[in-house]
Amino acid sequence: MTRHNGDVLVETLIDHGVSVVFGLAGGQTLPLYDAIRSRPEQIRHLPMRDERNAAYAADGYARISGRVGVCDATVGPGAIKFVSGLAEALNSSSPLIALISDMASDWLAVRYRGGGNQLVDQVAILDPLCKWTARLPNDQKVSELVQRAFQMAATGRPGPVAIELPEDLFRAAHDGPTPPVDSRFGSIPPFRSAPDPEAIRAAAHLLEKAERPVIIAGGGIWSSQATEQLMALAEHLAVPVATTLAGKGSLPENHPLSLGVLSALGGTTVARQFVEEADLILAIGYKFGQNPTYKWTLPTPSQAIIHIDIDPAEIGKVFPVEVGIVADAQLALVSLLAECGSPRSLDAVQARIAESRIPWAAQLKSEAAPTTPIHPQQVAMLIDELAGPDDILVCDASFAGGWGGLYFNVYGNRRAIFPRGTAGLGWGLPAAIGAQVARPNSKVIVLAGDGAMTFCLGELATLAQEGLNVTVVVLNNSTMGWIKWDQATFWDGKFQSTDLNRVNFAMVARGLGCQGIEVSDPADLKDALSTALSTAAPVLVDVRTSVNDTPVAKFNESEQAKAHMSSL
């Protein structure tokens, strides 16, 4: 039987531990599909309805599995649809490999301005959104190229790479064996970089003399699998822990030292209060982005910062730091714990956190009270109440991410993931497909607004075709909520181009092969969500919600905005 370079590619993927490729069929990519077809026990191709969603699915898969996600697209219109997904993965440090096909390698003269059907300079378009891009140079270099792609995606700060495969080289026969690979590059981190001992000693000294230290844990804790080490250090030093949305649950949110999420979107008043009052901030795997810093107003100049990150370019990028530690988060935390002295008593700080939580919990419960139309807070609180211990919440962008950040508690095997790289609408459902494939025994719950759902409706058909255990909850208020609140806050309530026609998403879901449930009465909401979450099949719950609620701090703090919204 003749082997082709498609076989070499797929064998190299398998050797790196890849069991699924998310993509959309194209003629130039047929060598990939044929090679996957002949190895059904080792790898499969999961067909998506849109190439952008294939990248999002690979992203969701990577975040939950800790492995490199792989997606594919055909030349031209397929490949350039990866733009959104690769940008999200780049900014979220998610390891992906995008396989993009190309026309024959000798078509270069007709590449530009449509001289050849589908042709466009796709690598030039994708290159700014990747850690690395490359083109297969000849028909003997497939395995070498793919191995390098895994190495680039997984090492250092993880991220996406794209490799271009010309059709003639991809189809070429290959007589030799597939070279051995280093399978460690199939997951993150493949290697762990140790911290500078001198920097660790300096950090330990600052922590031990600090009176009100606080830890801010970012997504790097999850990437490094450093959750146990984070808890050990926090408990040893009696230090409260706030997280970003990307780091949500890296210290279990039922832990007495947990402050919850620090963010202008979906953050707790408890986290903000403790961070504002801190004299020292230990930031780990955290890039000091816009929302957790409240547009870079927190930390304040009077607060000292210790920053641990795998990427040296992040240290001091936004705020000057007292101590910078370039290292794997897990190893850095282990070293820091070993350098610290005797453990501190937890009693006083835990009591202070518990006291601060009381009014915050009462406020959350009050805002989630049943009303007509239904508060999105009620939906999010019920999801938290009804979800199981192994469930995964995937929030789409905009307000859905805020409600999930506020109400869904992450502890044990629960996870919550959010599109915080570029915050693009439509990420939630395809990312949930990847998450469910990564953890097939878990229920995956999507929380999305109606605006976001219109970006990815076709993937409901993917849920049905694959029989995935995913529940989609749509907060349907027939408006683009963030923009409407922005206009209420900063444009004197001069609303324009925000309202959407009422879409019956439950009916759409049924038409695409899923179950669909409609809810407009708050008395019916719990039963509807309970039914959906107890069904091991794709279900969409379309909830008619209010437009007058927001999880965004700047909107909630504006009395003018609330007055404009309440007048609607």
Per-residue model confidence as pLDDT tens digits over 214-250: 999 999 999 999 999 999 999 999 999 999 999 999 9
Residue 371 main-chain phi, psi, to 5 deg: -145, 170
Say how many residues make up the chain: 568
Element (H, E) at 305: strand 304-309
Average of pLDDT values for 339-364? 96
Lowest-pLDDT range of 33-42, 324-333, 494-503: 494-503
Looking at per-residue confidence, does 3 or 527 come out higher?
Answer: 527
Q: Does 17 score more than 80 pLDDT?
A: yes
Calpha distance 280→425 (Å, rounded): 36
Q: What is the pLDDT of residues 542-554, one digit of tens each?
A: 999 999 999 999 9
Residue 114 main-chain phi, psi, to 5 deg: 70, 20
Give the CA distances from residue 188 to residues 224, 279, 397, in Å, rounded to whole numbers and listed in that order. Answer: 7, 33, 25
Average of pLDDT values for 519-531? 98
Q: Which residue has the tokens 């240290």?
A: 315
Q: Does 204 score more than 90 pLDDT?
A: yes
Calpha distance 26→17 (Å, rounded): 24
- pLDDT value at position 106? 75
Complete DSSP assignment for 199-241? HHHHHHHHHHH-SSEEEEE-THHHHHT-HHHHHHHHHHHT--E
Predicted TM-score (pTM) of this structure: 0.97
Q: What is the pLDDT of residues 131-155, one digit of tens each?
A: 999 998 888 889 999 999 999 999 9
Give the other-Cβ count within 10 Å of 346's Cβ: 17
166 forms beta bridges with: 102
SS3 565: helix
In this prediction, what percent of the chain has a pLDDT beyond 70?
98
- pLDDT value at position 173? 87
- The mean pLDDT of the chain is 95
Q: What is the pLDDT of residues 48-93, one digit of tens each?
A: 999 999 999 999 999 999 999 999 999 999 999 999 999 999 999 9
Confidence of residue 1 (pLDDT cuts 50, 70, 90): low
Delineate the domains of the chain, giving CATH numbers in brackets: 5-178 (3.40.50.970), 197-352 (3.40.50.1220), 368-566 (3.40.50.970)
Calpha distance 359→365 (Å, rounded): 10
Q: What is the pLDDT of residues 18-35, one digit of tens each?
A: 999 999 989 889 999 999
DSSP state letter for 342:
S
Average of pLDDT values for 431-450? 98
Q: Which residues lie below 8 Å from residue 355, measured CB to CB, with a gap of 6+?
A: none
Q: Which amino acid is at 212?
A: R
Q: What is the pLDDT of residues 117-134, one digit of tens each?
A: 677 889 999 999 999 999
Calpha distance 311→317 (Å, rounded): 11
Give the CA distances from residue 257 to residues 104, 207, 229, 436, in Å, rounded to whole numbers and listed in that order. Answer: 59, 16, 14, 30
Question: Which two tokens mark 86?
Answer: 């690769």
Q: For strand 304-309 and strand 323-326, is the pairing parallel, antiparallel, or unpaired?
A: parallel
Q: Does 47 score more than 70 pLDDT?
A: yes
Q: Does 318 score more than 70 pLDDT?
A: yes
Confidence of residue 115 (pLDDT cuts 50, 70, 90): low
Q: Which residue has the tokens 């997984």?
A: 154
Q: Does 521 score more than 90 pLDDT?
A: yes
Element (H, E) at 73: strand 69-73
Q: Does 3 score more than 90 pLDDT?
A: no
Calpha distance 248→408 (Å, rounded): 10
Q: Does 195 score more than 80 pLDDT?
A: yes
End-to-end CA distance of the chain: 69
Contact 416, 261 (CB under 8 A): no
Looking at per-residue confidence, does 112 or 306 come out higher?
Answer: 306
- Could you check whether the bond before residue 189 is cis, i.e. omega within 30 degrees of 0? yes
Question: Which two tokens mark 200?
Answer: 């660790």
Q: Which residues lie below 8 Å from residue 205, measured CB to CB, with a gap of 6+?
A: none
Question: Which two tokens mark 4?
Answer: 């082709």
Q: What is the pLDDT of residues 473-510, one digit of tens each?
A: 999 999 999 999 899 999 998 888 889 999 999 999 99
Helix (H), strand (E), coil (C) string for 386-418: HCCCCCEEEECCCHHHHHHHHHCCCCCCCEEEC
Looking at per-residue confidence, does 167 or 326 come out higher?
Answer: 326
Please name which of 438, 394, 431 lies closest in space to residue 416, comparing C-alpha atoms.
394
- pLDDT value at position 514? 98
Q: What is the pLDDT of residues 375-429, one digit of tens each?
A: 999 999 999 999 999 999 999 999 999 999 999 999 999 999 999 999 899 999 9
Contact 515, 509 (CB under 8 A): yes
Q: Which residues lie below 8 Å from residue 390, measured CB to CB, with a gap of 6+?
A: 412, 413, 414, 439, 441, 442, 443
DSSP state letter for 383:
H
Complete DSSP assignment for 82-101? GHHHHHHHHHHT--EEEEEE
